[in-house]
Homo-oligomer: A and B are copies of this chain.
Amino acid sequence: MKNASKPQGCTNLKLRQLGRMVTRHYDHYMSEVGLKNTQYALLSHVVKLGPIRPGDLAKRMQMDASTLTRNLQPMAAQGWLRVGAGENARSRLVEATAAGHAIRAEGQRAWKAAQLALNERLGMECVLALHDLLDTCIASLDEETSDATTH
């Protein structure tokens, strides 16, 4: 017994609206340590994935390569990460500096507070269900993109 046979409204609209709300929520907390939500996400990925090529990082974050180039710039200017030479002359490697690790640790505390507050506001059940669903959707769209269905 379905809720409705056809989805009501626009998936994109709802995603973006909630996205704006949640992003504002996180940014409010992250601002205490001088980070944007996006910068914390990027820094965390760089810390975890070690020296990594921009293109690979962009793919992991489901982000356009040119967007990544742009997002790296303010963070490199802050000295939080470094975009060095890769194997080839045409590839590069991104890695976090000591300052980057430090601020990421600070950011993690702010992030935890933000996530806890959000869990509180939405209810744990809701957040768990949302995470599962978002993960499923991301995986679905991702596998089609990389076209790995055939082998």
Contacts and interface: CB of A to CB of B under 8 A. Distances in A.
Interface of A: 2-23, 25-26, 37-38, 41, 61-63, 111, 114-115, 118-119, 121-124, 126-138, 140-142, 144
A138 B62 contact: no
Nearest to A4: B128
A135 B15 CA distance: 9
Contacts of A5: 124
28 contacts: A2-B128, A7-B124, A7-B127, A7-B131, A8-B131, A11-B115, A11-B127, A11-B130, A12-B22, A12-B26, A12-B37, A12-B41, A14-B130, A15-B18, A16-B19, A16-B23, A16-B38, A17-B61, A18-B62, A18-B137, A19-B19, A20-B62, A21-B138, A121-B140, A121-B144, A122-B141, A123-B140, A126-B137
Q: Quick one: copies of this chain in the complex?
A: 2
Contacts of A119: 7
Contacts of A21: 62, 138, 141-142
A134 B41 contact: no
A17 B62 contact: yes
A114 B10 CA distance: 10
Nearest to A45: B13
